[in-house]
Structure formats: structure tokens, C-alpha cells
Amino acid sequence: MVRRIELPPVLTRTIIGERLSAKAASAGRDHPGTVTLPTRSTTRTYPRFGIIDGGVGPALSDWVIGRWDLLDVDDADADHGTFIGGLAVGGSVLNGNDVCAEPDGSEIIDIAIFPDENRPNAFAGYYPRPRRFICEMANAVYLNLNIQKPAVPDRYSRYAARLDAIAEANGAVFFISAGNTTPQGQRAESPTDETQALVALASARNDGLLMRAESVRNVSVAALNPPGLANAVAHAPARYSRRGPGLRAGVKPDLAHFGGSGSPQTPLGHGLFSMKPDGSTCDGCGTSYATPLVAKTAAVLDQSIEGEVSRESLIGLLLHHVRMPDLLATKALSGVARDLAGFGRPPCAAEILEGDDHQITLVFASRLRRDQQISFVFAWPPSLVTAEGKCRGAAKLTLVSTPPLDPRFGSEFVRVNIDATLQQEDFDKVGKQGWRGRLDPVYLPGKADAPTIEAERIEHGLKWSPVKQLAKVMPLGIGKSSKPFSRFPIRSAPHPSSMTCGSSRAPAYE
């Protein structure tokens, strides 16, 4: 009668190194030394997000607009939370635009609920059961703590399920660090040679993703080396950053950003700078320091777009404009890139919203019911259509959905598959009209029209994943129609085993 027994998890901050740094200079980058943070103005609006930690120090008090403090003064440890807050408020002045491209300034809700880990039994005194801690953060929009249990590929954990339920109920997005390895589990620094880098990754052990980073309603973030360090390859996966895959359906982690180097070296240390509670500068590294940089971009997007923006639209904008680090975009490493950096590193919010003169981004936000589809008709730009009717250019499609979930089905916990396709008018040999999809899943090896089995559709085509991405570059043109790409259908379909759920409802899906 007993199927499974699980021990309570251990919750800890995801941090590798943090230290005070002496003022120094290095080729390409300078230590920030003493900096002056921007002053908050009451006459304008700022991006806003919450920090769930041990508190934010007085150095950032001007930017703290709300507090939820459960900790006794003796149990509080504000170092970690202040470092994260410093990246949000003054990341650019501390690190430069190459590392923190978003404009400085962010309003902070300080959610001080994580007691000092150096005080014995402090955590158990506040939270006799770890589930009580999760309940305390129900209204938060940022997460930098991890359960120290590895994700299981064939089981959707109750901790991820609980976090997903909180996010969906509150219309929030949690940004979750992928987790740090133990010091003994750190990989060697990535070499510049792609073959040697692949060998180093193959020899690594015990660096798999942690639970809750497998959350499908939220965004998990891995760490990259920052630029300007002599002993670490810029934009390469940080040696301490945990990697996927998580659950079988989907890509985890979702994104990556600069988290500091795991190999500190004088004079820049870890190469990522922030503040101590007393206002002094320090350097540090950890996936929880990469996470606020992504959260800051999402907060700027939300603040920059007029009106209410759905959580799906925010996530979609982040994912759609990512860039895979050059080292991981090579032929040798492309097969493991998504496990290390997800879809890639997002640019700044201004670049996402404005793009350049040669591109356009269309956002569709709608609700589907079972077996329904939405279709958008549009014309391919005439300047990109050849005399023969072929379509040139590049197209990319990102789908972010909120399908129903059911943990009882293990790795098949996603109960509805939603697909999107960009179709071109086509004709068979007798001239009968049809429509042909032209985009390929970004992680599907070979051609999309090659025969694939269900396991390959799940692993590479991301079938049953709430997040999908398809793309194609067409420099010479494709197709024959003079009315190219005139349909953009999005379809939903229930899981084949849904009939066993005993539900006759027809739910709607974002």
C-alpha cells in the first residue's frame, strides 16, 4: 500500500563564495571600490520584486518599500539578501553594462523569513516542517533558495507542484536558482577548445538540477562566468552551476546569466560585485546571484509595458530573445547546451521591446479550450518574397502555456499538449491546396519532416512541454506559394491517458 517514502529536504542558500574585496584594477575591468548608489525618486516608477532571504541591510533601506520580517534580530543574516538587492539596485554601477545591462534602480519588498544558517537549530525553531517555510512565501515573486534534493526525471515533486500552485494562484513568476554543486562536485573551468570542454562535462558527477528548479510554471536560472576575468572563459557555464535535465518533458534550467566565477583570482575575485549591509562592496558567486539579473529584466519589462501583462507573456518575451553563449553554440556542445544554459541568456529589456529595424515581434495572448485552435492570418513581407514565390528571412516562434498538471501521472504530469506552427500555403502534384509547417524545434536533431518516434518528440521536440521554441533561417527562400505563411494556428489536445482522470470538464488553457 505504501508506494514511496521521502525524508524532509534541507533548505539552504545557493551561494558558493562571497568576500570583501580590496580596491584593484584588471585588464578590461576595474574593481568598483566605493560607489554611490542611485537615489530613489518618489516622482517616477521603478521595477519591483521581492527578495525572500534573511533580510536586506540598511545600505539599501532607501529602496525597500515593504517588509515582511518574521526573524528575531539575533537570527537574521542580511549579507546574502543585501548582495542580491545590491545587484537589483546598483548592478550596472557596480559591474558595468556588459554584466548588468538594465538601468539601476529597483524597488524591493524585503521578505526576511530565512534564519541565519550558522545558528544551530534556528531553522527548525521557526519551521518545524519545511512545508511551513514554503507557505510563508506564498505571495513572493522572487526565490533564491533551493531544496537540497536532486530532481528525479520521471517524477514531478510535490515541492515543485506547491511552488507552481502558488505562482498560478497569485499570477506571479518565481525566479529560481538552478542550485550550486558542493565544493567537491565542481567541474573544471571550461576550456576554450570545444572538444576538451565536452570531455570535462562528460567526466563531471553529482551536478544535476535540484528540486523546485524543475518547476514548470516558473523560471529557473543557471550561472555563467562574467566577462573580464583572465582565468575563466567569459559566458561559459560557471563550474559550480548545476545542470539539467530535470523532468523528461521540457528544458531546465530555462535561462542563464552571470553569476560570478567559481575560480576567484586577484584582483577581481569572483568578478561579480555587490554590497554588504554596511554599504561596503564585495564580490561573490552563486546561481542565486545570477537569478536576480534575470528577475530584474522581467521586472523592467513589466514596468515598461502599459497595462496588465500576463505571466505567460513575460516569460515568453524573456525566452524569445535569448542568445546562447558562443561556446555552447558550437557543433560539439550544441547537444548539451540546453542542460547547461537552457534557452540562453536574455538581453536587456529595452532590446527585447525595441528590437532593430529589420525585425518584428508579434505577441499573441489568448485562452484555448479543449480541441480548439486560434489562427492568425498575415502576409510575409513582399521584400522577402522572391520572384518564384519563395520566402526568405528568419523566423522564430516561442510558445509559453499554462496547461493543467497532475502529479499522479509521474513524468506525464502535463495533461494537455499545446502546439504552435507557422504554415505556408502548399500544393500537391494535382494542385490541391494544403498547408505545410516550416519551422523546426530548436533542439530537434536533423530535419523536422524526418520520421520520429514519440520518445524523440518528447525529448527533442518538447512535446508535452509548456514551453516550446521553433525556428528556421531561410537565406535562399523556401516554398512555392505567393501567399506565404498565411496561417498561424495554435492547437490544444488532451493527453491520451486523460480519460482515466474521471473528469468531464473542458478547462481553458492560457
H-helix or E-strand spanning residue 52: strand 48-53
The reply to whether 288 and 417 lie within a common domain is: no
Tell whether the model's pLDDT for residue 137 goes beyond 80: no
The reply to whether 345 and 430 lie within a common domain is: no
Of the pLDDT bands very low, low, confident and very high (cuts 50, 70, 90), residue 147 is low
Q: Which of 353, 375, 391 marks a domain boundary?
A: 353
**Grid coordinates in use for 470?**
521553433
pLDDT of residue 286: 92
Distances (CA, A) of 456 to 8, 70, 202, 464: 35, 48, 22, 12
Identify the residue with better confidence: 464 or 257: 257
The reply to whether 231 and 282 lie within a common domain is: yes
**Where do we find the cell 494544403?**
434
Percentage of residues in the chain with pLDDT exceeding 90?
A: 25
The reply to whether 72 and 145 lie within a common domain is: yes
Examine residue 414 and state whether it is found in any structural domain, yes or no. Answer: yes
Total domains in the chain come to 2
pLDDT of residue 499: 35
Overall average pLDDT of the 150-175 stretch: 80
Complete DSSP assignment for 402-468:
---B-GGGGGG-B-EEEEE--EEEEE-TT--EEEEE--EETT--S-TTS---HHHHHHTS-TT-SEE
d(CA 144, CA 147): 10
Overall average pLDDT of the 417-439 stretch: 81
Of the pLDDT bands very low, low, confident and very high (cuts 50, 70, 90), residue 149 is low
Distances (CA, A) of 132 to 124, 157, 211, 390: 10, 17, 17, 59
Overall average pLDDT of the 347-368 stretch: 89
Query: What is the pTM assigned to this prediction?
Result: 0.81
Identify the residue with better confidence: 285 or 244: 285
The reply to whether 347 and 380 lie within a common domain is: no
- CB neighbours of 434 closer than 8 A, spacing ≥ 6? 425, 426, 427, 428
The reply to whether 413 and 306 lie within a common domain is: no
Examine residue 24 and state whether it is found in any structural domain, yes or no. Answer: no
| SS3 call for 222 | strand
Amino acid at 428: D
pLDDT of residue 343: 92
The reply to whether 190 and 231 lie within a common domain is: yes
Identify the residue with better confidence: 227 or 493: 227
d(CA 90, CA 104): 5
Q: Which of 297, 330, 353 marks a domain boundary?
A: 353
Overall average pLDDT of the 230-250 stretch: 86
The reply to whether 64 and 189 lie within a common domain is: yes
Domain holding 411, by residue range, is: 364-509
Overall average pLDDT of the 71-91 stretch: 89
pLDDT of residue 203: 82
Identify the top-confidence range among 49-53, 129-133, 247-251, 259-263: 259-263
The reply to whether 349 and 408 lie within a common domain is: no
pLDDT of residue 508: 41
d(CA 317, CA 276): 32
**Each residue's pLDDT tens digit, 190-206:** 888 888 888 888 888 88
Distances (CA, A) of 444 to 201, 231, 251, 407, 497: 21, 34, 13, 27, 25
Tell whether the model's pLDDT for residue 500 goes beyond 50: no
Overall average pLDDT of the 101-114 stretch: 89
Candidates 176, 115, 113, 112; CA nearest to 143 is 176
The reply to whether 477 and 448 lie within a common domain is: yes
Tell whether the model's pLDDT for residue 240 goes beyond 80: yes
Residue positions counted in the chain? 510
**Inter-residue contact 417 to 492 (CB < 8 Å):** yes
CATH of the domain at 224: 3.40.50.200
Please tell me the number of Cα atoms within 13 Å of 26 on its side-chain side.
18
d(CA 475, CA 76): 58
pLDDT of residue 53: 85
**Each residue's pLDDT tens digit, 430-471:** 777 777 888 888 876 555 555 566 666 776 667 788 898 989
The whole-chain average pLDDT of the chain stands at 80
The reply to whether 349 and 381 lie within a common domain is: no
Of the pLDDT bands very low, low, confident and very high (cuts 50, 70, 90), residue 135 is low
Identify the residue with better confidence: 297 or 12: 297
Examine residue 30 and state whether it is found in any structural domain, yes or no. Answer: no
Examine residue 12 and state whether it is found in any structural domain, yes or no. Answer: no
Examine residue 22 and state whether it is found in any structural domain, yes or no. Answer: no
Of the pLDDT bands very low, low, confident and very high (cuts 50, 70, 90), residue 485 is low
The reply to whether 341 and 474 lie within a common domain is: no
**Each residue's pLDDT tens digit, 167-192:** 888 888 889 888 898 888 899 898 88
Overall average pLDDT of the 113-139 stretch: 71
Candidates 326, 144, 338; CA nearest to 252 is 338
Identify the residue with better confidence: 12 or 464: 464
Q: Angle, to 10 degrees, between the axis of helix 287-304 and the axis of helix 79-95?
A: 70
Examine residue 18 and state whether it is found in any structural domain, yes or no. Answer: no
Overall average pLDDT of the 356-378 stretch: 83
pLDDT of residue 302: 92
Examine residue 237 and state whether it is found in any structural domain, yes or no. Answer: yes
pLDDT of residue 315: 95
pLDDT of residue 45: 87
Q: Which residues pair with 420 in a beta bridge?
A: 490
Tell whether the model's pLDDT for residue 357 goes beyond 80: yes
**Each residue's pLDDT tens digit, 297-349:** 999 999 999 888 899 999 999 999 999 988 888 888 888 888 899 999 999 99
Identify the residue with better confidence: 106 or 436: 106
Identify the top-confidence range among 2-11, 121-130, 190-199, 425-434: 190-199
pLDDT of residue 148: 62
Examine residue 174 and state whether it is found in any structural domain, yes or no. Answer: yes
Residue 384 CB-density burial (10 A; 0-12 exposed, 13-18 middle, 19+ buried): middle
Overall average pLDDT of the 56-78 stretch: 86
Q: Which of 353, 373, 405 marks a domain boundary?
A: 353
